[in-house]
Amino acid sequence: MIEAAMIWNEPNNKSHWDPEVDPDWSLYADTVARAGAAIADANPAVLRVLGGMSPIDPAWLKRMEAHGCMDAVDVVAVHGFPLDWNLWSIHDWPAKLAEIQRVTDKPVWVTEVGVGSFGAEEVQVFGVEKTAELLIGRAPRIFWYSLFDLPQEWGATTRHREAEGSSYYRHFYMGLIRADGTPKPALDRYARVAREVGLMQWFHYHDPRLDDAVEWLRRLGTRKLRTGLSWADSFRPDATAWFDRQMEALAEFDVTVTFCFTPEHLGIQPHHSSAAREPQAFADFCAWAIDRYAPAAVTPPAAVMA
């Protein structure tokens, strides 16, 4: 079932939201306000999550508050990768959470946390163990990124590959399972905390790993999953059939679904990271998806009269 809907992914990261189009995030705030209202209208029981911030930045959150969009969300989210991309120690996780908790009265979820095996698989084993130790009990939801390695032939979704240099290649080593389907040593460590730490896994359009992912989630005992539905993909010819297959396969889990990625023909700039020319169109997509995959319960007339 869908328990939560996230409005965009890493909106303060230029890989996912173009700062040249929206330098003060006022367009993003308008997008949040519209999408949050649309989700609530479709099903008020679905929690609305502000796009997970990366980097973790209390000043950015205060900016969102100043733009007046925070009433449209129920949860704040953070992402952190201290052994791969962030310039802080993994031991700082409690302090990084506290930075955000001090400036909001909303729950703070960790919707992406990960350690890759780019340097050594032993580092990832340590990362799983230390992350669990530092975050379980401090955040209501924790999602490890990710279950599968990203196949190198697919490429990573980033706007600044050249600027990342060798760091770009870390994108392909974040999974607990290699691209060839074989488990890494860290998978066993994750299994020990799978009830407390969910998984975050993006599924590409017609992703051949979907059924394998479901089997692994069952085997590991994972109950909570974060994934995404792409607004851009919704314009493909058989998009609804793919979305139906994806969401049906994941129906037994507690899903946080992320809505993101602008269709090129609807962006201010023709790129998936651009703000939309008409943000209400994105809100309408969110409402459509919630109504289709997490419809509000209808109270029988007899129960209303009782």
Distance CA(51)–CA(60), nearest Å, equals 12
pLDDT for 142-187, tens place per residue?
Answer: 999 999 999 877 766 665 555 565 677 788 899 999 999 999 999 9
**Which DSSP string corresponds to 147-168?**
SBPPPGGG----S-HHHHGGGG
Interior CA angle at 241 toward 240 and 243, to 5°?
60
Q: pLDDT for 58-83, tens place per residue?
A: 999 999 999 999 999 999 999 999 99
Average pLDDT over residues 282-291: 98
Q: Is the pLDDT of residue 300 over 80?
A: no
Which pLDDT score is estimated for 297?
Answer: 84
CB 21 within 8 A of CB 269: yes
- For residue 156 the two structure tokens come to 């990573």
| CA–CA dist 281, 161 (Å, integer) | 29
The pLDDT of residue 158? 63
Task: List Cβ neighbours of 133 (8 Å cut-off, separation of 6 or more).
Answer: none
Q: Calculate mean pLDDT across residues 29-56.
A: 98
**Res. 306 pLDDT band, cuts 50 70 90:** very low
Mean pLDDT of 191-203: 98
| Structure tokens that stand for 69 in this block | 């969009």
pLDDT tens-digit series, residues 228-272: 999 999 999 999 999 999 999 999 999 999 999 999 999 999 999
Residue 171: its pLDDT value, please?
Answer: 81
Q: What is the average pLDDT score of the chain?
A: 94
% the chain with pLDDT above 90? 89
The CA distance from 141 to 208, in Å, is 27
Pairing state between β 47-52 and 76-80? unpaired
What pLDDT, on a 0 to 100 scale, did the predictor assign at position 125? Answer: 98
- What pLDDT score was predicted for residue 169? 77
Which stretch of 117-126, 133-142, 158-167 has the lowest confidence by average pLDDT?
A: 158-167
Look at 210 and 303; give whichever has higher pLDDT.
210
Residues 6+ apart with CB under 8 A from 100: 53, 56, 58, 61, 76, 78, 108
Q: For the beta carbon of residue 24, count every other beta carbon within 10 angstroms.
A: 11
Mean pLDDT of 194-214: 97
**How many angstroms from the chain centroid is the CA of residue 303?**
37
